[in-house]
Structure 1
Amino acid sequence: MITAPAITLTGGARIDETQLFAPLSLELGAERWTCLLGGSGVGKSTILRLIAGLETGAVFDGEITANDGAPLTPRVGYMAQDDLLLPWASVKKNVSLGARLRGERPDAEKLDELLHRTGLISHVDKRPSELSGGQRQRVALARTLMEDKPVVLLDEPFSALDARTRADMQDLAFDLLKGRTVLLVTHDPAEAARLGHAIHVMSPQGLTEVAPPAAPAPRDVDDEETLKTQGALLRLLREKAA
């Protein structure tokens, strides 16, 4: 795997003449998890798509740079809010899609491990229509984790999962994405408090940084400082929405 870079996004965005978000500066630490929260419509997913080099429908006035100066797009793995599974393909083929599109043979050992660890091994031959929403989201997560990308962008990857599975998948993603530069967009203050090395709350006016708990991530769900950070994030989100 190529060394994961630090990334800086500076600038603002608008749709037609309407400001989406004011000029801001977001720094993603190399090999660290940065969590981005905020109300709906403030531009969180737009920031993910800008870093991924995808169409956003917005005009971005700014720049996105990696500290090593190399192009970012080929080094980015991206998981969107929608699972974007191929309806005619099995779970196994959806998870290994990236390799097959590149004309490569999927890493069978890695694929088998991911299917086991995401609890999908008994569903490998099913089509997406035969899966629950949470199962589909696990397939999309496994597909993202199959890609050996140094930069990983996650847009609410655990939102459709029940509480226990969500915690399990958080732990799995954190383990398998060691050494990557990760940007996680989430609406869940508990998730950000548990996983973030850096935490930002986004509003149309810009970013507010919130200090993460001192304990190493992923943190225990009942860790006292983690619970305090969760509460602080919720209060800030409510203030920004007022």
Structure 2
Amino acid sequence: MSAAAPVSSAAPGVAAAPVFSVDGLWKVFGPKAERVPADPELAALTPAELRSRTGCTAAVRNVSFDVRKGEVFVVMGLSGSGKSTLVRCLTRLIEPTSGGLAIDGEDVLAMDKTRLRELRRHRAAMVFQHFGLLPHRTVLDNVAYGLEIQGVGKAERRAKAAEVVAKVGLEGMEQRRPGQLSGGQQQRVGLARALAVDPEVLLFDEPFSALDPLIRRDMQEEVIRLHREEGRTMVFITHDLNEALRLGERIALMRDGRIVQLGTPEEIVGSPADDYVREFVRDVPREQVMTVRTAMRTASAEEAGNGPAVAPDATVSEAIEAVARAGCAARVVDSGRCVGVVDSGALLGVVAGVGGDANAAVGDGRASVGGSQAAVGDDGAPARGSQAPARGSQAPAKADPGLAAGDDEEVA
């Protein structure tokens, strides 16, 4: 369900420096916004209390995370959760109120206009939900537009644009104009335009939410393919849980401007941090997300030499099929060595969500979990509208009560 493994250029045994490093980031809208993160009492208020006392809205609240080189990092949440504001803060399309923000170790908040322009033109490219194509230009010239802004010569930029157009599956459509393309084709043009400038990081702000389900799935496949082929770092914003689970190697789940859990898809589905996350993921087919590591036990000598073999990162669904076909337990084989065994009882236990540490809070140590406002309503239970969507559907567009007004669509 996840994209390809991240590509790292670090020496063996040495962790690669993060591409983006975000530390205690705040974005507050309203009068004297800077006082909110500076005052612990104001910072601890709920969104409604903060608006009542100060007239301010905290769209991003004390958020910390790192984006590793070559990974697909997904930020997801319902409308008003702060995700779109957050991704715009990464390149200062929206100015953060306080906190730390760096790209490859360089302080983004200290960049002057020249360095900031270079960041946006060369190092990080954005793909928006609304394609923003120039209607009077052809596909080729739309894709080449970023290179034109960079001052690249016409022949060179058109040659590069043609190469990228072919890469996203639009070969033969170079001379069409946006009005002659379908929605999915227009989004491919937007993706090609971002790829043409060869950025270090691709930032996606809900790029597929306006597309029909089948076209949306095709575009998700395109992102997975491009990542597999290029290993490019990607930050992907979405409100759709299925999309997040399908694309993300790590997912930051946001609510009320905070990260309530940060972890792999398996950690978030298998070990929700609180009741809000648990309600959010409860309808996710666990067997399609959880791997056999969750159900693995030590193999006996006889089991280690018999039965079908599955990889440690195989999903429980794949292992169930293997066990059903063979009629016996399956060996978990890593680099030619049997590291454990899974049987039908353990696999079905994972599907049912019983056994193990299924309810333990698991996530990235830097996620801002402690201060999250997970409760909605008087009884502390999350809103029903926040539950995970059924397979193939989108997450509910309706925001939870009390979410930051003025964020995401309003701010963007």
Partner residue of 2:51?
none
Contact 2:60 2:85 in 1 (8 A): no
Give per-residue Cα distances to partners, 1:96-129, cap 9 Å, x unaligned. 1111222222262x53343334343343222223
Corresponding residue for residue 216 of structure 2: 166
The structure, 1 or 2, with the larger RCO (C-alpha pairs under 8 Å, 6+ apart) is 1
- The corresponding residue for 2:19 is 6
In structure 2, C-alpha distance between the alignment counterparts of 1:113 and 1:171, rounded to whole Å: 19
Pair 1:150-2:187 in alignment: no
Q: How far has the Cα of 1:227 moved from its partner?
A: 8.3
Aligned residue for 1:39, secondary structure, equals coil
Contact 1:78 1:144 in 2 (8 A): yes
Tell me, yes or no, if the aligned pair for 2:140 and 2:175 is still in contact at 8 Å.
Answer: yes
Deviation of the 1:5 alpha carbon: 4.4
Q: Does 1:62 align with 2:125?
A: no
- With over 3 angstroms needed to count, the CA separation of the structure-2 counterparts of 1:137 and 1:241, relative to structure 1, is same
- What is the rounded CA distance, in whole Å, between the counterparts of 1:241 and 1:102 in structure 2? 42
1: CA distance, partners of 2:290 / 2:190: 29
Distance 1:169 1:150, change over 3 A: same
Taking a change above 3 Å as real, the CA distance of residues 148 and 70 of structure 1, as seen in their structure-2 partners, is farther
How far the C-alpha of 1:59 sits from its partner, in A, is 5.0
Q: Would the aligned equivalents of 2:241 and 2:388 in 1 still touch at CA under 8 Å?
A: no
Give the secondary-structure state (helix, strand or coil) at the position aligned to 1:99.
Answer: helix
- Across the aligned residues of Structure 1 and Structure 2, the Cα RMSD in angstroms comes to 3.2
Determine the structure 1 residue equivalent to 2:113: none
1:225 is matched with which residue? 288
1:123 maps to which residue?
Answer: 173
Structure 1 equivalent of residue 264 of structure 2: 211
> SS of 2:215's equivalent?
helix
Residue 148 of structure 2: which of 79, 84, 100 is its match? 100
Separation in 2, partners of 1:27, 1:241: 27
Aligned length: 227
CA contact (8 A) 2:248 2:264 kept: no
User: What secondary structure does 1:46 align onto?
Assistant: helix
SS at match of 2:69: coil
Secondary structure in 1 matching 2:218: helix
Percent of residue pairs identical? 33
Cα deviation digits, residues 33-61 of structure 1 (max 9, x gap): 1101111122211111111221x2x6521
Larger Rg: 2
8 Å Cα contact 2:58-2:257 kept in structure 1:
no
Question: Which of 231, 240, 260 does residue 188 from structure 1 map onto?
Answer: 240
Residue 202 of structure 1 deviates from its aligned partner by: 0.7
TM-score normalized with structure 1 length: 0.79
Higher strand share: 1
- Report if the CA contact (8 A) 2:82-2:257 is conserved: no
Counterpart of 1:32, as a letter, is E
- Assess, with a 3 A threshold, how the Cα gap between structure 1 residues 119 and 163 changes in structure 2: closer, same or farther: farther
One-letter amino acid matched to 2:166: H
Partner residue, 2:162: 112
Q: Distance in 1 between matches of 2:29 and 2:81?
A: 12
Q: State the shift of 1:234 in Å.
A: 4.5
Gaps of at least 5 residues in structure 1 are: 215-221
**Closer/same/farther in 2, CA of residues 227 and 175 from structure 1, 3 Å limit:** same
Q: CA deviation at 1:24?
A: 1.6
Q: Is 1:43 aligned to residue 82 of structure 2?
A: yes
Q: Which of 51, 61, 80 is the aligned partner of 1:22?
A: 61
- CA gap of 1:174–1:235, structure 2 versus 1, over 3 A, is closer
* Counterpart code for 1:106: R
The answer as to whether partners of 1:6 and 1:29 remain within 8 angstroms in 2 is: yes
Q: Which residue of 1 aligns with 2:252?
A: 200
Q: Is contact 1:80–1:155 with CA below 8 Å preserved after alignment?
A: yes
- For the residues of structure 1 that align with 2:29 and 2:200, how far apart are their CA atoms? 30
- Partner amino acid, structure 1, of 2:233: T
Structure 2, unaligned runs of 5 or more: 1-8, 10-16, 31-55, 109-115, 268-284, 292-314, 316-352, 354-385, 390-394, 402-412
Query: Do the aligned partners of 1:33 and 1:196 also contact (CA within 8 Å) in 2?
Result: yes
Match of 1:140 in 2: 190
Q: Distance in 1 between matches of 2:139 and 2:290?
A: 36
Per the normalisation by structure 2, the TM-score is: 0.49
What one-letter code is carried by the residue in structure 2 that aligns with 1:175?
R
